[in-house]
A and B are shown apart, each in its own frame.
Chain A
Amino acid sequence: MMEILGHLADGFLLSLQPLNLMLIIIGVTLGLFIGAMPGLGSVNGVAILLPITFLVPPASAIIFLAAIYYGAMYGGAISSITLGIPGASTAVATTFDGRPLAMKGRASLALVTAAIASFVGGTVSNVLFTAFAPPLATVALNFGPPEIFALMLLAFATFVGLGGDDIPKTIFSICFGLVLAAVGFDEISGEPRLVFFGISGFLHGINFLVLAIGVYGIGEMLWTLDSTRGKITSTAATFSVKGVVEDAKEGMRRGWKGTAIGSLLGFFVGILPAAGATPGSLMSYGVAKMVARKPQEFGQGHPSGVAAPEAANNSASTGAMLPMLTLGIPGSPTTAILLGGMVIWGLTPGPRLFTDQTEFVWGLIGSFYISNFFALLINLAFIPLFIWMLRMPFTILAPMIFVLSVVGGYAATQDMHDVWLMLFFGLGAFFLRKLDYPLAPAVLAIVLGPIAEPTLRQSLLLSSGDATIFITRPIAGPITIIAIILILLPVFQLIRKKMKGDKAPAEMS
């Protein structure tokens, strides 16, 4: 333990060197704005700025890229909360409660909660990373396709079992999102699949952002304009230092459970190969809702609904670094680019990295702590700007949101077909929202679909078509059983309600 602390102290010293500290501050600020821009995420920032890092030593280069990665994780929440458009896939779940809070004039509470939860998530994951990196990497490797599919099932189940919404409509929404995720090519046979009406634009699949921006950027805005009868002039967002302190206290008091869940679950999902921060944040939201005393408050603007995904996506971003550094397996697209950068810099990720490149590894770990701290400070410093944006008259904010939606929809895939599709989803979402169809599950499903389907197929291939593989394996079994119970929960509740209803007239007679 003392040896680890000694290495960590060296890491801090390295990352606090003037050049590295400057790179951290620039990286976090850049990441914050790249993450806040719909259609762009940490992967874009890291990929675009990778060539610049060849001007500095490898340790400084990875510190800079890690700072961008961190900043983008914080930044994703900003557009989710202020504009209702997820800045990145990792911030989709933040929209569910962040936007309703902003619409209630509590944007400051949502933004402060997101910043604090992100900081706590980042810090918890950094401590876990520092102390348990090599053994955790081995545990993660025990998660095969059946275990990962069981986790996906659990994520969907939390939406069905505890939704409080119309259950058939919720299930419809999940299945619709999953089918949309299957559009494009079948990964195993390589054949085109679900190319609707022969339109070639469907061949490249449907990016989750096309649905998410359509639903939240266009559908939700049309619904707001319709339901408020156009009387909305601006959201009553306010800002004062005293108010921020009060919001911080309230965010911690009401969001601590979500923060704790997100920090731990996010880290663990983050270290799973091919999972990453997006499933981590969505699952944490689902579990936070599952354990909440009043789950029906989720989706209406609950601080825990902001804290859970935000803590998780920051925690998972550090977690995703773990298999990359210790095993050479990237846990997310961004870490895959970082891995490529390391190879170019002449470093070989894998078990020997910790012994052969001690200074590099511990400098990076030290920079995680420093980046996390600066990301919190920079994020808090920009809150007045974000609040000011919200106080703009709605007749200015609304067209800006529509412009951002169209640009974000295009930037995600750079295909006009997707922009038209986004408009179609937006108009459809407006009508479905009016008819009480929950749309968040569809967005959740299109994000998790590309993980759920291959893991299901690989599992069934492993078991020669025997579905009991999800029950009989020691890790997958309990997760699957919990998921099944959650899915059946509405049925149990219905039976109980019916029995009570039958009993009441009998008692009366």
Chain B
Amino acid sequence: MRRAEIITAGVLALLSIYMMWKSTDLDVGYISGEGPGGGAWPFWLAAVMLVCTGVIAVNWARRTSPPSQSTEPLLDSYGIRMLVLVGGGITGFIALTHIISMYGAMFVFLIYYLRVMGQHTWRLTMAIATLTPAIFFYFFEALMRITLPKGMRFLDPIFNALSALIY
């Protein structure tokens, strides 16, 4: 945890510098008759962020913050496994949305999580994985008139048929 604290402070300091640099695309000073330039607000906020990372580093060196005193790793083997399985699952869900639509990706993700991770029965898994996208489809497309991503063109006939059902 101690090493992670200082590495994170370093990464956040770099992020702050990047934000300061991006802010300078617009004027960061006071323009007479116009007030502060468009970049002033984010520039000075990012500058405060940079100062804060400096103070965090000082606290780390003095071992005053709890993570700087900790000898535990940021992620143990369980944490890494959990992050890969769950974080990877959500990443896969979002990536699949571009291909098989948000409803299709939801179906696959629910099967993965409920069956593989949760060890639930196939009957329960399939019931939840099928009903959830169906309810979302009706709620968003028919009631709220909000269109969720429909994936690639090859799914058009399916969604056209479903749309004909609800409209």
Contact = CB atoms under 8 A, between A and B. Distances in A.
B113 A436 contact: no
A460 interface: yes
Contacts, number: 180
A436 B65 contact: yes
A406 interface: yes
B26 A186 contact: yes
Most buried by B among A37, A168, A195: A168
Interface in A38-52: 40, 44, 48
Given A175-B49, A407-B102, A191 B148 contact: no
B17 to A, nearest CB: 12
A172 interface: yes
Contacts of B97: 406, 416, 419
Given A171-B52, A179-B49, A225-B82, A191 B38 contact: yes
Contact of B38 (A189, A396, A432): A189
A464 to B, nearest CB: 8
Contact of A168 (B30, B35, B56, B119): B56
A353 to B, nearest CB: 31
A194 interface: yes
A157 B159 CA distance: 50
A458 B45 CA distance: 18
B59 interface: yes
B41 A416 contact: no
B52 A175 contact: yes
B35 A457 contact: yes
Contacts of A431: 4, 8, 74
A218 interface: yes
A430 B8 CA distance: 12
Contacts of B139: 37
Nearest to B128: A396
B93 A406 contact: yes
Given A225-B86, A230-B78, A395-B118, A168 B59 contact: yes
A400 interface: yes
Contact of B94 (A172, A225, A419): A419
A426 B109 CA distance: 18
Interface residues of A, number: 63
A226 B82 contact: yes
Given A191-B26, A435-B8, A416 B39 contact: no
A222 B82 contact: yes
Contacts of A8: none
B53 A172 contact: yes
Interface in A432-475: 432, 434-436, 453, 456-458, 460-461, 465
B52 A193 contact: no
A252 B1 CA distance: 41
A188 B86 contact: no
Contact of B120 (A48, A172, A396): A396
Q: Say whether chain A's binding surface is mostly helix, strand, loop, or mixed.
A: helix
A221 B18 CA distance: 29
Interface string A93-123: 0000000000000000000000000000000
Most buried by A among B66, B75, B109, B113: B113
Contacts of A189: 26, 37-38
B90 A423 contact: yes
A407 B34 CA distance: 41
Contacts of B152: none
Given A171-B48, A186-B38, A194 B53 contact: no
Interface string B60-104: 000001110000001100110011001101110110011000100
A456 B30 CA distance: 13
A461 B37 CA distance: 11
Contacts of A176: 49
Interface string A254-286: 000000000000000000000000000000000
Interface string A207-244: 00000000000100110011001100000000000000
B146 A436 contact: no
A270 to B, nearest CB: 26
Given A193-B25, A396-B114, A435-B8, A179 B35 contact: no
Interface in B130-160: 132, 136, 139-140, 144-149
Given A186-B26, A402-B90, A402-B93, A175 B46 contact: yes
Contact of B140 (A191, A193, A411, A461): A411
Closest 5 CB pairs of A and B: A395-B118, A186-B38, A461-B35, A399-B113, A172-B52
Given A48-B145, A229-B78, A395-B114, 7 more contacts: A171-B48, A182-B42, A230-B82, A395-B120, A399-B114, A406-B90, A406-B97
25 contacts: A34-B144, A48-B144, A48-B145, A172-B12, A172-B49, A175-B46, A178-B41, A182-B45, A191-B38, A193-B23, A193-B39, A194-B42, A393-B120, A406-B94, A406-B102, A407-B140, A416-B149, A431-B8, A435-B1, A436-B65, A436-B66, A436-B67, A453-B41, A457-B35, A460-B30
